[in-house]
A and B are shown apart, each in its own frame.
Chain A
């Protein structure tokens, strides 16, 4: 039964990937321009799902990691003009270092305190951006001299490829032996320890992996936009969107987060004519899904099939 389920998921993913690859042949640059940030956004959401769905830790501040990656890479590029690759590596490293510094003390706490600490971390980072405005550009944002490409198709395929590889790695990790241990640590830490697993070590590792992909995606996003601003990569509202995307897509599915992210970004765009009301409509829809279909898009699909 698992084999069929696995292969169905495999064919579904392959089909969607093929559509995504062929998309630039048939649609305008405007649509690609909507999808590119959605793909980076999907990586944020997948990284978040690894922490929430598997390690059982609710990170209310995914944008802390994203923001560190984005600003780390952006500031280095603006100050030194070094190659994009070097800046991206630097930003990613910043995200991992910041993530570990945050997680080391936070993971000692249980219950809601981990979540609260991650929430406070975002506010701190946002304040730092304002305080060190001459480096960060403050509220207005930071303009970086380099961009990945000015060609829509190149940017599109780069984002798609990045998302696909990240998804493959994160999904593989979640289905591996390490993922099984991580899930046990999240579900019943006392029993996991009694089985000989160092729960703190596995959770910290999960946090590092999550920080790596969040930071990397954040850094790349900066070089797509050519700018970094608190409103796009740090603000709490962005973090909430990441969480909603992951939950909409389906907790503990990793790949569901892609569906959630693409849906959320596209819905926001389609409803843009509604103005302020668009946020309301999207949020209300998300609320309904979370209330009535808590397993999310992909979670519900997989669950139905596994029961059938």
Chain B
């Protein structure tokens, strides 16, 4: 990817930035998660940090907060370089983080949870200052928790739990506020209320960093947007400017024109589809992870479900595989899947290749594959192995290597190969491209193409990378905020659904 042209922040911004990040780099083993990131946020400014899943944006946030230690670079908070400090000292220096997933103290009330955030880091502090009670109440009123001050978190709706997280961050009176996916799981009305609260930080002169998946979700709130991809800087500027950036468009919508090769005749076949998901809803505690989702897949079809991280793709697949409870119905080959265990569904021919790959890291490539084909006869297994080694030649040369020692791309190929050993009627691939470099994507894409062209296999692919999801798809669904918002021919995706996706 070509990312050499980057605007240098001018000197005035640098000298007045409340948060200044420069040359920030983080490596996990051989993987460079964040590479030489630099930016600065002024008091009263809101910066949106966006990038698709695996782009390193969350890592940047953790590096600022000190949850991860950077390998190189500076994180300057109001003139003090805190890079490499432990998290609690960085917090005391004036950084607050609004977590996406909250774990409040369940035995304590909302008020006590807020009071906790107001306490000093002292061992011998047995009783809180009397002022703390008043302060906690004022903060609760401000974020809209005044009415539930004495209730326990477990009795609150999801949006109020997010408010509680916000309240705890406010209680620390931070100079720099980091917000992780501010609007995930919220309704339109709640988004408006949260936007107002976050905009309030601007008036108080705090520097705010919003971390989210795409520009659209934060565009109305931010002063500037910074886009990153694969750990590197891509573009910075106004929301419109970043949305118009060719690299950003390429990352989210694919290169200029994606060659598609839909086979619309497959969906015209008479009779019931192989898989029919009707009106399915899933609740995670209080968060709606899927809402009346209906999709169908016909025999031999290649169907892509496109959506950003958190849209609900994995939840949909887990519902189909019988891993999460759901409402609505899922019909497989004419029979309902309700009440069947995950094991029985997998034996029935629905094989999922999960996002996390779930390889046996200490076993060799060959052993992983043999486990996938454990129920095959010896002859079948050998034949299947030969076919897979032809499909993924790299696996043949690595047959004796431990799966955990291979690169991400090789592991993904092994995960797909192992799923294929189980002779699926329907292969579900959940984000196979997660965190992979473009060159690996191409190899994987070729393998899928061969798979589609040489076998009658039915595939359901979940992806946020459209460059990967569109070329082989016969039909595409777009999943956003737990709902299907578009269905159609992949060739029409960019013109009809692209705007909603960016």
- Interface residues of chain A, those whose CB is within 8 Å of chain B, are 1-2, 172-173, 176-178, 180-181, 183-184, 187-188, 190-199, 201-202, 205, 252
Query: In the bound complex, what is the Cα–Cα distance between A195 and B102 (angstroms)?
Result: 13
Stretch at the interface among B91-99, B267-275, B405-413, B456-464: B91-99
A194 partner residues in chain B, CB cutoff 8 A: 65, 67, 87-88, 91, 96-97, 99
* Beta-carbon nearest neighbor of B62 in chain A: A190
Q: Which of A180, A187, A195 contacts B172 (CB 8 A)?
A: A195
B112 partner residues in chain A, CB cutoff 8 A: 180
Stretch at the interface among B115-123, B380-388, B478-486: B115-123
By DSSP majority rule, is chain B's interface helix, strand, loop, or mixed? Answer: loop
**Are B123 and A195 interface neighbours, CB within 8 A?**
no
Query: In the bound complex, what is the Cα–Cα distance between A196 and B97 (angstroms)?
Result: 11
B96 partner residues in chain A, CB cutoff 8 A: 194
B116 partner residues in chain A, CB cutoff 8 A: 180-181, 184, 195
CB distance from A51 to the nearest CB of B (A): 15
- B286 interface residue per 8 A CB criterion: no
**Are A193 and B88 interface neighbours, CB within 8 A?**
yes
Query: In the bound complex, what is the Cα–Cα distance between A193 and B67 (angstroms)?
Result: 9
A188 partner residues in chain B, CB cutoff 8 A: 103
CB distance from B127 to the nearest CB of A (A): 6
Q: Which of A177, A178, A195, A198 contacts B86 (CB 8 A)?
A: A198
Query: In the bound complex, what is the Cα–Cα distance between A88 and B66 (angstroms)?
Result: 43
- Interface residues of chain B, those whose CB is within 8 Å of chain A, are 65-67, 86-89, 91-92, 96-97, 99, 102-103, 105, 107-109, 112, 115-117, 119, 121-128, 150, 168, 172
**Are A252 and B126 interface neighbours, CB within 8 A?**
no
Query: In the bound complex, what is the Cα–Cα distance between A172 and B124 (angstroms)?
Result: 12
Q: A180-B115, A202-B123 are in contact. List 8 more A-B contacts (CB 8 A).
A: A2-B109, A176-B126, A178-B123, A180-B119, A190-B67, A194-B96, A195-B88, A201-B121
Considering the complex of A and B, which 6 residue pairs feature the smallest CB-CB distances, nearest first?
A: A196-B91, A193-B87, A176-B126, A188-B103, A193-B88, A194-B97
Query: In the bound complex, what is the Cα–Cα distance between A191 and B172 (angstroms)?
Result: 13
**Are B105 and A180 interface neighbours, CB within 8 A?**
yes
B91 partner residues in chain A, CB cutoff 8 A: 193-196
Of the listed residues B92, B96, B116, the one surrounded by the most CB atoms of chain A closer than 10 A to its CB is B116
CB distance from A265 to the nearest CB of B (A): 28
B97 partner residues in chain A, CB cutoff 8 A: 194
Query: In the bound complex, what is the Cα–Cα distance between A14 and B119 (angstroms)?
Result: 31
Could you list 24 examples of A-B contacts with CB < 8 Å?
A: A1-B150, A173-B126, A176-B125, A180-B112, A180-B116, A180-B119, A183-B108, A187-B105, A188-B103, A190-B67, A191-B102, A193-B86, A194-B87, A194-B99, A195-B117, A195-B168, A196-B88, A196-B91, A196-B172, A197-B88, A198-B86, A198-B121, A199-B88, A202-B123
B103 partner residues in chain A, CB cutoff 8 A: 187-188, 191
By DSSP majority rule, is chain A's interface helix, strand, loop, or mixed? Answer: helix
CB distance from A197 to the nearest CB of B (A): 5
**Are A205 and B126 interface neighbours, CB within 8 A?**
no
**Are A181 and B87 interface neighbours, CB within 8 A?**
no
Known: A190-B87, A196-B92. A177 touches B128 (CB 8 A): yes
A193 partner residues in chain B, CB cutoff 8 A: 66-67, 86-88, 91
A177 partner residues in chain B, CB cutoff 8 A: 119, 125-128
* Beta-carbon nearest neighbor of A190 in chain B: B67
Query: In the bound complex, what is the Cα–Cα distance between A195 and B125 (angstroms)?
Result: 16
A197 partner residues in chain B, CB cutoff 8 A: 88, 121
A198 partner residues in chain B, CB cutoff 8 A: 86, 88-89, 121
A192 partner residues in chain B, CB cutoff 8 A: 88
* Beta-carbon nearest neighbor of A194 in chain B: B97
Query: In the bound complex, what is the Cα–Cα distance between A176 and B116 (angstroms)?
Result: 11
**Are A178 and B124 interface neighbours, CB within 8 A?**
yes
* Beta-carbon nearest neighbor of B109 in chain A: A2
Known: A194-B96, A194-B97, A196-B92. A180 touches B108 (CB 8 A): yes
CB distance from B174 to the nearest CB of A (A): 9
Known: A184-B116, A195-B91, A199-B88. A205 touches B105 (CB 8 A): no
A199 partner residues in chain B, CB cutoff 8 A: 88
Query: In the bound complex, what is the Cα–Cα distance between A183 and B107 (angstroms)?
Result: 10
CB distance from A182 to the nearest CB of B (A): 10
B87 partner residues in chain A, CB cutoff 8 A: 190, 193-194
**Are A178 and B126 interface neighbours, CB within 8 A?**
yes
CB distance from B415 to the nearest CB of A (A): 26
Query: In the bound complex, what is the Cα–Cα distance between A197 and B66 (angstroms)?
Result: 13
* Beta-carbon nearest neighbor of A201 in chain B: B123
B88 partner residues in chain A, CB cutoff 8 A: 192-199
A190 partner residues in chain B, CB cutoff 8 A: 67, 87
B109 partner residues in chain A, CB cutoff 8 A: 2
CB distance from A295 to the nearest CB of B (A): 11
CB distance from B430 to the nearest CB of A (A): 26
**Are B105 and A176 interface neighbours, CB within 8 A?**
no
A176 partner residues in chain B, CB cutoff 8 A: 125-127
Query: In the bound complex, what is the Cα–Cα distance between A73 and B437 (angstroms)?
Result: 64
A178 partner residues in chain B, CB cutoff 8 A: 122-126
